Amino acid sequence: MKIKEIYDFLDSVSPFNLQEKWDNSGLIVGNMEDKFESVYISLDLDIDFLETVSQNSLIITHHPLIFGGLKSINYDSYTTKLLQIIIKNDIKLISMHTNIDKTHLNRFVMEKVLGFKVEDESDFLLSSKFDMGFDDFCILVQNKLGLKFKKVVKCHQNIKSFSLTTGSGMSLLPFVKTDVFLTGDIKYHDAMEAKLRNISLIEIGHYESEVYFNTLVYALLEKYLKINKIQAIMGENQNPFEYV
């Protein structure tokens, strides 16, 4: 199969032109006319994972390996070291980042993982209504997402609505109109801003909230790849953080 064939399929499912201006989703390594034998699906890339990838394969990741322009390729940084392995082994790379956040991933986590109905949606920001004590809701979220820690900003004893953005979504805080906002990568001054706005926060982790990318994309591709007799393999990603 050629790259162009699967690229066009992915584009029909989650258009690449929906990505944010700062993003770099799409074909990162390879040529549209290149052929491949297997597909690997992975949230991120690391050396351990790349060692399991066979030559002449395609990897579909969530996070792009390259965001900005590279001025040198000297193999001593995260990006260039992995590029060396990818090119040496004739591996192609496609990334689906903010486009699939908007079309699938946020909704998947809201509905399939947390079990809440999406009642309002605006780009990355999904919202739902319910009535529950804040502490009980924190426990529910922690259990559903398998969080090993609880990091919260508590402005409410009881809540009637919440919003969610997977990954790193604190830049969206000014647009949150609910009692609680769930997202990852919450910093100290984000917490201060949220308290001022009377918005409770629950840190759901960048990795923990986006690791479902693998399952989601595998399901989207499964029937299409079977028709074309291409094997799909889900990568086993590791959280770079350990909680001790």
CA distance 155 to 121: 23
Distance of alpha carbon 124 from alpha carbon 105, whole angstroms: 9
Fold agreement between 3-96+210-234 and 100-204:
yes
Instruction: Print pLDDT tens along the chain (244 aa).
Output: 999 999 999 999 999 999 999 999 999 999 999 999 999 999 999 999 999 999 999 999 999 999 988 888 888 899 999 999 999 999 999 999 999 999 999 999 999 999 999 999 999 999 999 899 999 999 999 999 999 888 999 999 999 999 999 999 999 999 999 999 999 999 999 999 999 999 999 999 999 999 999 999 999 998 898 888 888 898 888 899 988 8
Domain positions in the chain are 3-96+210-234, 100-204
Domain 100-204 has CATH 3.40.50.300: no
Task: Please give the single-letter amino acid code of residue 148.
Answer: K
Phi–psi pair at 108, nearest 5 degrees? -60, -45
Selection from 72, 70, 166 nearest residue 123 by Cα: 166
Residue 224 is classified by DSSP as: H
Predicted local confidence at residue 155, as pLDDT: 97
| Strand bridging mode 180-184 / 200-203 | parallel
**Residue 201 is inside which H or E element, if any?**
strand 200-203
In this structure, what DSSP letter does residue 52 have? T
Q: According to CATH, what is the number of the domain 3-96+210-234? A: 3.40.1390.30
